[in-house]
Each structure stands twice: as structure tokens, then as C-alpha cells.
Amino acid sequence: MPPMTPTTLGAGVVKRTTRLSDGRELIYFDDPGSELPDDRGSDIREPAPRPATATMRHDVLTGDWVSVAAARQNRAFLPPAELDPLAPQTSANPSEIPSRYDVAVFENKSPSFGPATGDPAPLGTAGLGAERPSVGRCEVVCFSPEHEGSFGTQTRTRARTVIEAWADRTAALSAVPGVAQVFPFENRGEAIGVTLPHPHGQIYAYPYVTPRTRTLLTQIDAEGVDLFDRILAFERHSERVVLQGEHWTAFVPFAARWPVEVHLLPHRQVADFAATTDAERDELAPLYLRLLRGVDALYDTPTPYIAAWHQAPVEEGRDTVRLHLQLTSPRRAADKLKYLAGSEAAMGAWIADIPPEEQANRLRDALARVPEVDA
């Protein structure tokens, strides 16, 4: 493979773009000062056809769109280290990434949305029996070439590289025809349903604004355009704050649903990662690492969680919807999980097991046991 043209991003992160044997895009994000070579190996696998784009079906009882993506049934399930599909390729392991890497992002082989892009047709005219192609894009973000770990186990430098990748991909995916919202997230732990122990997250680029964000937009209309400013001021004057810096504050929300739930907000209106400054990204790297390590310090074993980075839609709410993290875990004790049963799962009516103030106090105690994040 000829040398790829490098692009230098914020914090000295270097980006290189190439293609896998089946045409999927692969992007390397090199740490500042990385010792990786400029050229990277070619994908050794024979080209294989990509699955057909899934189909969305309209649920007239809720107005939601449901993507039916049968190809996802074939995804890897807890493979051994020597067959890790996210590790660098070897002759014995024809994985997804041809070369050694720092951070790598590639198109999902069996996506929930895509590989087709473009306008799926007006969604507002849907009714009973309506279908649309599940256009969009799903990407995998590998935080490290190591077989096991999570975002929280990375170095400060590597965390900053991942944040730069999130910002770069948010900007790129927001410009893809038919994409209405971009969602970076990390699922951690088998209790959450994770099928690969390799440290990684995902980015979904949806062809519609998600139901959760639609509800948020409705609430902003009802409560006022300064809703996030008021939430931040309210929480920063409460006993629920667990971490704060010059640009970010983490807190257990007033109406927390989950046994472990933490929100992390920037101090100014920022629509998405692409709109953050270098200073905000620089502070986020160690602060977010410390938060995740504090969540892990709650118990003697790692805590399962979903780390969901909510961003404003591509075209709506850019001045009112604020980038923010909602980290949630079902772990309510060392050996107990909260299951969503009748009330929560069927009716969406939540009952919290732990008072938010108690959650915050426990997390502050755990954070006090976590060393400062070094380079």
C-alpha cells in the first residue's frame, strides 16, 4: 500500500485514511509523537460483498422507526484473544484492521444503518405498514490495539486522541447525505451485552432524529431555550457534583433513574464534539478518565456501563441542545443488577433504587481513592 497522506488535527493527532478490501473506509488516528510508520499494511482478506442495507419499519403506536438488521446476527461473540477481530491483522487472524495502530475507526461490517446513504424519503408521511431503507452509517472506534480494556483504562494521551477522533468523525458524518444525528457511545461489560472485550466504542449516524432527542427538543420548547444553562447552575449548587474543572462538570442528576448515573456537561453551549475547543478537549481527557476510573472503584470488579454522548441533531436545536454525557449502569450492588421489568420496560415509568444524593456521595468516595490521571 502506498503511503497515505497524513492530516494533522488538534493536539498533534495525525489522521490517515484508507480502504479495506471490501471498500469500507478505515481511518487511523495516531497519537502525537507516535512511533508508528507512515505506511500501513494492506488488508490481506479477499473482498467480500457487504450486506444489503437494512429496512426501517414504522411503529404507529409510538411514531418510532425500528431498523430490522438481520445481518447483525452474524457478528463475533466473545472470541479468544488470538481471533480478536479488532486486533491488528496477522496471518493467523484476518481481523478488521491491517496494521498496528493507536486509534482506528472503520465502517461496521454488519451495520444497523447503511451502507447506503442518502435521503430515505420524507419520514413525516409514514403510517401503518410504512418502510424506509435504513440509510446512514455505523462505525467502530478502537481505543487501543490491546485485546482487553475500556476507555477508562487508556492513557491521558490516548484518551485525547480518541476525543479528537470523535470530533473529526462527528463533523464528517454530519455532512453525509441523509444523516440527521450522530451518536458516539461506549458499551462496557457483558452485563450490558458487550460481545467483544477489546476496548472500543461505536458511532451511529442516524437517518432521523432519535426518540430520546425528540423528547429533549420538546422539553426545551416547554422549559425554555436556556434549559441546559439552568440545569448546570442548579446541579453545580447541589450536593450531587462529583467532579468539575474549568470547562466541564460531572454530577449525579436530580432525577437519576439508574443505580449508577452520571451526567457530564460543558460549561458553555456546545452542539457537538466538532464544536468543542482544543482547551475543552484537553481538559475532558483526564477528567473523563478520572470519572470512569471512579465508577470502576465503586466495587472490587469493573462496573458495566453505557457511556452515551448526546449531541445536537445536524439541523435542529444547534443553539439549545448541548453536548453531554449520560453514563448509566444497572449495577445496584456488588453482586446485583437492576433489571428493567414491568413498570420501566413496559410503561416507561421509572422507579429509582438509590437516592441520587447517596449515589453522588458513594461516587465521591470512590473518586477519592483514584490517583490523578498522568500522561
Q: Which residues have a catalytic role annotated?
A: 200
| Other CB atoms within 10 A of residue 60 CB | 12
User: Residues near 111 by Cβ (< 8 Å), separated by ≥ 6?
Assistant: 51, 54, 69, 71, 136, 137, 138
Can you tell me whether residue 8 is helix, strand or coil? Answer: strand
Q: Please give the single-letter amino acid code of residue 168.
A: D
Least Cα distance to 292 among 155, 142, 141, 144 occurs for 155
475507526: which residue's cell? Answer: 105
**Could you tell me which residues are beta bridge partners of residue 243?**
250
For residue 168, what is its C-alpha cell? 473529526
CB atoms within 10 A of CB 341: 9
List 68's β-bridge partners, or say none. 55
Q: Are 291 and 265 in contact (CB under 8 A)?
A: no
Cα–Cα distance, 360 to 35 (Å, whole number): 41
The Cα 352–Cα 291 span in angstroms is 22
Contact 80, 148 (CB under 8 A): no
- Rounded to an integer, what distance in angstroms lies between the CA atom of residue 32 and that of residue 282? 13
d(C-alpha 98, C-alpha 109), whole Å: 15
C-alpha cell at 221: 420548547
Q: CB–CB of 54/132 below 8 Å?
A: no
Q: In whole angstroms, what separates CA 297 from the centre of its chain?
A: 22
Helix (H, G, I), strand (E, B) or coil at 67: strand
Whether the Cβ atoms of residue 6 and residue 15 lie closer than 8 Å to each other:
yes
